[in-house]
């Protein structure tokens, strides 16, 4: 019986150099450069209007750059029509033919390429096996769930062994439980095929689960590219820190010894040339102690008031108000919860080494809301 080995394809390397896309006076993509390794799973992550989907459409050939270069394995393809780029594409809303069976939908790109009928049957069977829908070939799209339809769309995109698979918000229309399961399925398929995956999403958790690397987009530019851990633990900008996961952000004037916030001198590794700075701490790095608690020199501390708590099963979030009116968010794991409750006066503490000091960006909140 055919297996996923029948579909195996070595991924292609993709190079974006100075890509810019203008629509009149509006710049949708602004001087984007990005190297994508063969076989890599890279996610283009950002809010609506950040340029990620336009960049994907340029790679696919659905749109053309105003300026810049696009190469695949060293060959320039900016002028190559979409249907000749031999890239698979998976859309958010499946785009299946309702009058065709599942097998006929998957076979369609093979038919367009004039693959012999017997070979088509083998490849369709292999694609169905890869997405775990081996018994569904005779059904019609209307007889499938949303998750099954999306798996059919993936099977259709991989059946002709493209070296690049492009995915545009493919799980956006599904409920959370199904999204979580399909994320693991997509990750499994990528591992089996070795194809280069370029994935677009605005969902931070999705990007963290799936990606070898993430390119964070903001206002048409890439703010930072890196592995999930690097972006989460060492964000290069305040936008990346705010967009990729939750954060407590403390603002103030930077001195040679630290950053002044709430009438106290807080410390963080490194230095900053800008006078206005933002100290970023992830919620799981923060701890709540009793009011007046005096930590050792390796810790920062601030007085705070608990304003709310959110039960999440395996964890709990505490919302706190700081003396300057700003807020903080603490995540405590089940089994190590503090006694703090709404209205309590407490001390908020965290290790100096867990702070990230970044230049302040006053307009970042407007971009994210």
What pLDDT does residue 174 have?
A: 83
Residues 161 and 254 in one domain: no
Residues 251 and 206 in one domain: no
Token readout for 241 is 């820190």
Nearest-angstrom CA–CA distance, 242 and 237: 9
Residues 267 and 360 in one domain: yes
Residues 21 and 147 in one domain: yes
Which among 231, 258, 288 is the end of a domain?
231
In a domain, 61, yes or no: yes
Domain containing 311 equals 247-368
Phi, psi (5° rounding) for residue 330?
-115, 135
Residues 224 and 129 in one domain: yes
In a domain, 237, yes or no: no
Mean pLDDT of the residues in the chain: 90
Residue 339 CB neighbour total at 10 angstroms: 8
Phi, psi (5° rounding) for residue 318?
-110, 130
Residues 255 and 219 in one domain: no
* Cα-Cα-Cα-Cα dihedral sign, residues 73, 75, 80, 83: negative
Residues 190 and 225 in one domain: yes
Which among 197, 231, 265 is the end of a domain?
231
pTM above 0.95, yes or no: no
In a domain, 93, yes or no: yes
pLDDT tens per residue, range 74-96:
999 999 999 899 899 998 887 89
The segment with the largest mean pLDDT, out of 96-105, 245-254, 262-271, 310-319, is 96-105
């Amino acid at each position: 019986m055919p297996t996923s080995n029948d579909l195996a394809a070595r991924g292609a390397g993709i190079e974006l150099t100075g890509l810019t896309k203008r629509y009149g006076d509006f710049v949708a993509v602004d001087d984007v450069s990005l190297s994508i390794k063969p076989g890599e799973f890279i996610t283009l992550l950002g809010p609506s209007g950040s340029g990620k989907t336009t960049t994907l459409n340029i790679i696919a050939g659905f749109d053309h750059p105003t300026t810049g270069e696009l190469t695949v394995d060293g060959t320039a393809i900016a002028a190559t029509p979409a249907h000749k780029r031999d890239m698979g594409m998976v859309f958010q809303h499946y785009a299946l033919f309702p009058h065709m069976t599942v097998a006929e939908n998957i076979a369609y790109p093979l038919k367009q390429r004039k693959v012999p009928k017997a070979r088509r049957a083998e490849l369709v069977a292999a694609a169905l096996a890869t997405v775990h829908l081996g018994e569904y070939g005779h059904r019609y799209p209307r007889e499938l769930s949303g998750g099954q339809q999306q798996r059919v769309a993936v099977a259709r995109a991989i059946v002709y062994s493209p070296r690049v698979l492009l995915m545009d918000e493919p799980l956006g229309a599904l409920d959370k439980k199904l999204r979580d399961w399909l994320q693991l399925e997509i990750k499994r398929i990528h591992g089996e095929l070795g194809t280069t995956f370029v994935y677009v999403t605005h969902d931070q958790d999705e990007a963290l689960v799936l990606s070898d690397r993430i390119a964070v987009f903001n206002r048409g530019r890439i703010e930072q590219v890196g592995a999930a851990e690097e972006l989460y633990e060492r964000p290069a900008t305040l936008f990346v820190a705010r967009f990729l996961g939750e954060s407590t952000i403390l603002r103030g004037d930077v001195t040679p010894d630290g950053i002044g916030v709430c009438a106290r001198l807080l410390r963080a590794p490194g230095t900053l040339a800008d006078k206005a700075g933002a100290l970023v701490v992830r919620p799981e790095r923060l701890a709540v102690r009793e009011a007046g608690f005096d930590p050792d020199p390796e810790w920062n501390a601030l007085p705070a008031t608990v304003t709310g708590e959110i039960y999440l099963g395996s964890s709990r979030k505490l919302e706190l108000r700081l003396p300057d009116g700003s807020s903080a968010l603490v995540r405590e794991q089940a089994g190590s919860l503090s006694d703090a409750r709404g209205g309590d006066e407490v001390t908020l503490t965290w290790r100096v080494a867990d702070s990230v000091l970044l230049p302040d960006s006053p307009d970042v909140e407007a971009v994210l809301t």
